[in-house]
Amino acid sequence: PTNHLRHVESMKTLLSGAGNISILNAVILGEALASEENDLVFPSEKFSVQAHVPSPEKYLEMYRRSIEDPAGFWADIASEFYWKQKWSEQIYYENLDIRKGNIKIEWFKDGITNISYNCLDRHVEAGNGDKIAIYWEGNEPGFDGTLTYTQLLHQVCQLANYLKDIGVRKGDAVVVYLPMLMELPITMLACARIGAVHSVVFAGFSAESLAQRIMDCKPNVVITCNAVKRGSKTIYLKDIVDASLKESSQNGVFVDVCLTYENQSAMKREDTKWLDRRDIWWQDVVPQYPTTCAVEWVDAEDPLFLLYTSGSTGKPKGVLHTTGGYMVYTATTFNYAFDYKPSDVYWCTADCGWITGHSYVTYGPMLNGATVLVYEGAPNYPDPGRCWDIVDKYKVSIFYTAPTLVRALMRDGDQYVTRYSRKSLRVLGSVGEPINPSAWRWFFNLVGDSRCPISDTWWQTETGGFMITPLPGAWPQKPGSTTFPFFGVQPVIVDEKGVELEGECSGYLCVKSSWPGAFRTLYGDHERYETAYFKPFPGYYFSGDGCSRDKNGYHWLTGRVDDVINVSGHRIGTAEVESALVLHPQCAEAAVVGVEHEVKGQGIYAFVTLVDGVPYSEELRKSLIAIVRNQIGAFAAPDKIHWAPGLPKTRSGKIMRRILRKIASSQLDEFGDTSTLADPNVVDQLIDLADS
Ligand code: ATP
Ligand code: MG
């Protein structure tokens, strides 16, 4: 209680001094906060006291400086890294306004550095070489390994030397198709060390998707492994690579070398299909190279990597990130949003094939010299308690995951969680989709024993790092809200004409100035970059997401704007309806789309997955509709409940509403690009259940 009061009091006192930055005005409405204390989850005094940002005042002070003096703010932070040569006097350049010419963003231009050096050598030289960099946990319990920072540096150097030896040069693309082995971050860091541009493709994509990505950037080398076990399934990655290389060569793109790691726990070398003039075993060549390798110094604006978005809304976009700004931004966001301390053991369940794995498995944590856990397998193998088993085994203190996993584990039952101690946990995190308040509470109360703040981080492949996120310890949380912007980020909510909305509002989420981690272009298609992100609302970066801001200034993501449903003139975010449905104790997951409706314009069509073992019934259908009525209002009541044994998801676990919309409107032959779908069978099951 004392801490509650302290927060509310300080928010009140700040009301007056908030200045003219609109976001600040919105943040501090102490009166309203005090009256709403029931919805608020306060950090404990114990947590706040030790946090990097212990209070709203401290946040405001730092935030204000980051907006009023971005050059000074970011220069101070950037100076903590190693730069061979300092950036030019003008620390950044931006044109986000399409009316004024081509879109261009630059940070730390003419600064010469290397991100691999900053992730590794810097820590070793500071005497931290013996600290564990990676704990690796295999799919099978009992299979594990570790690398210290010194050992990691050595392995990175060996691979870097090999790549140089086969002719990979600064600026060349390297396609990586690896599972969550230590070799995946090693490969990323080795590419960065020699200035090569990695394009990591999630090792779950089909041969066709991989071929598309290979043909896009035309690498000379592809790095993969022969096979991997995820749960009880073996996936033959090398076969997929073979098929994709065949396809790309038929289209005139030839890859000289396929460097293949022998993943013995999944498959023996003798059983692997082999093309002698092209394929090379990692273990036969890489360990023979020296363990030191001079770094290739690059400009801050030289490309670091290329990565495709998840493809939730259509054809994936090849997002290009550069070196310096991305480095400074991922490191800083990691440090603050997770309140990182050197003693932490950090686990992010995302695969390095996604942006989350780039920024918050590899670069962000390692720039901070953190101990990172890399898990090879499925989070529910051999049973749904595996995550907490791993947490206890390694004393994980920061656990970062996605709502889809939280909902799945919630459905599997509390007993899998309570069986484990979880005492080491300190901070939890969520990313990828809006987290439903009921899932938030389960995560907070059960997994974190009501002790660990949850950082619900809103960001995108395009943004490089966190944009709107809690800073644990700084202020009270509201379950389901991503709270406030990170330093240097100016989010705005605009209406359909592009007019900025003030105070309590709902609309299109845009950003009005650049931040260091912003993407610079879409690979090979700057025009699409401008059209997709900067033309819809001239003067702003448009995220594609809908968002509302409540009277206390907290941000609530409402889903993609393409998914907003308009029922008789009411604009309803999919997230809102889904969260109401998931409140029902027998509803495990829900996805809502709009369908054409004669009277209302659009009607609400809900796909519902029930808790295991619960039978479909008319009564249940009614009670699901009733819960939406009660929570939101009669206008939001679903017109149809469609039973769903499973939902179509991207391989990163997000619901693909685009496909659900087609099913809901019976346009069964127009699914479009489904290559990023995790399990295509789900679609057939849903079609079968359409009339039940
Ligand atoms: P595509 O752009 O190809 O359709 P995608 O947008 O799913 O794919 P990502 O860049 O991986 O690809 O995901 C970013 C999106 O994920 C955001 O635009 C937002 O819709 C959603 N998202 C991420 N984090 C959150 C969060 N904490 N709360 C709500 N939504 C989130
Ligand atoms: Mg997107």
Nearest residue (CA) to ligand 1, atom 17? 460
Q: HSE, CB side, 13 Å, CA atoms: give it for residue 181.
A: 21
Token digits of residue 580: 């109401």
| pLDDT tens for each residue of 151-162 | 999 999 999 999
DSSP conformation letters of 92-137? EEEE--GGGSS-EEEESTT-EE-HHHHHTHHHIIIIITTSEEEEEE
Residue 38 pLDDT: 58
For residue 26, name the pLDDT band (cuts at 50, 70, 90): very low
List, for residues 583-633, the tens digit of each pLDDT value: 999 999 999 999 999 888 899 999 999 998 999 999 999 999 999 998 888
* Distance between Cα 432 and ligand 1 center (Å): 5
The pLDDT tens digits for 548-558 are: 999 888 999 99
Atom index in ligand 1 nearest the CA of residue 676 equals 3
Give the C-alpha distances (Å, rounded to integers) separating 536 from 1, 309, 355, 545, 651. 46, 19, 24, 12, 28
Residue closest via CA to ligand 1's atom 15 equals 460
Task: Name 428's bridge partners.
Answer: 399, 454
Indicate which residue's Cα is closest to atom 3 of ligand 1.
311
State how beta strands 345-348 and 371-375 pair.
Answer: parallel
pLDDT at 262: 98
Cα angle at 169 between 520 and 525, to 5 degrees? 30
Pocket flag, ligand 1, residue 654 (CB < 6 Å): yes
Q: 514 near 92, Cβ under 8 Å? A: yes
Q: What is the mean pLDDT of residues 262-279?
A: 96
Please report the atom of ligand 1 found closest to the CA of residue 457.
27
The pLDDT mean for the chain works out to 92
Predicted TM-score of the model (pTM): 0.92
Instruction: List pLDDT tens digits, range 321-353.
Output: 999 999 999 999 999 999 999 999 999 999 999
pLDDT at 22 over 50: no
Supply the pLDDT for residue 101: 97
Share of the chain above pLDDT 90, in %: 82
Torsion of CA 613, 618, 624, 629, to 10 degrees: -170
Which atom of ligand 1 is least distant from the CA of 652? 11
Give yes or no for a contact between 357 and 386, defined as CB atoms under 8 angstroms apart. no
pLDDT of residue 572: 86
Looking at the CA of 482, name the nearest ligand: 1
Smallest Cα–Cα separation from 581: which of 571, 563, 595, 593? 593
Q: State whether residue 357 is helix, strand or coil.
A: helix
Which of 201, 209, 309, 317 most suits a substitution to test ligand 1, by most atoms within 8 Å of the C-beta? 309
Give the closest residue to 533 by CA, choosing from 581, 431, 468, 462: 462
In the structure encoding, which two tokens stand for residue 574, read together?
């999919």
Looking at the predicted structure, is the pLDDT value of residue 679 above 90? no
Q: Is the pLDDT of residue 36 over 60?
A: no
Which atom from ligand 1 is nearest to the alpha carbon of 456?
Answer: 27
Q: Which atom of ligand 1 is found nearest the CA of 559?
A: 20
Q: Is the CB of 124 under 6 A from ligand 1?
A: no
The answer to whether 322 and 303 have CB atoms below 8 angstroms apart is: yes
Distance 487 CA to ligand 1 centre (A): 20
461 Cβ inside 6 Å of ligand 1: yes
How much distance in Å is there from the Cα of 458 to the middle of ligand 1?
A: 8
Of 562, 679, 688, 691, the catalytic one is 562
Known active-site residue 144: no
C-beta separation of 660 from 625 below 8 A: no
Any atom of ligand 1 within 6 Å of the Cβ of 491: no
Look at residue 32 and tell me whether its pLDDT is greater than 50.
no
- Which of 212, 312, 468 should be mutated for ligand 1, with most atoms under 8 A from CB? 312
Verify whether ligand 1 is closer than 6 Å to residue 458 (CB atom).
Answer: yes
> Quick check: CB of 573 below 6 Å from ligand 1?
no
Q: Residue 3: its pLDDT value, please?
A: 52
CB burial of 572-610 (b: ≥16 within 10 Å; e: otherwise) equals: bbbbbbbbbbbbbeebbbbbbbbbebeebebbbbbbbbb
pLDDT attached to residue 16 = 36
- Give the pLDDT score at 653: 87
Q: How far, in Å, from the CA of 460 to the mean position of ligand 2?
A: 6
* pLDDT tens-place string over residues 94-130: 999 999 999 999 999 999 999 999 999 999 999 999 9
Distances (CA, A) of 384 to 204, 374, 409: 21, 18, 6
Ligand number nearest to the C-alpha of 563: 1
| N-terminal to C-terminal alpha carbon distance within the chain | 51
Query: Which comes out higher in pLDDT, residue 13 or 391?
Result: 391
For residue 202, give the ligand nearest its CA.
1
The reported pLDDT for the residue numbered 12 is 47
Considering every ligand atom shown, identify the ligand nearest to the alpha carbon of residue 545 and give its number.
Answer: 1
* Beta partners for residue 606, in sequence order: 592, 641
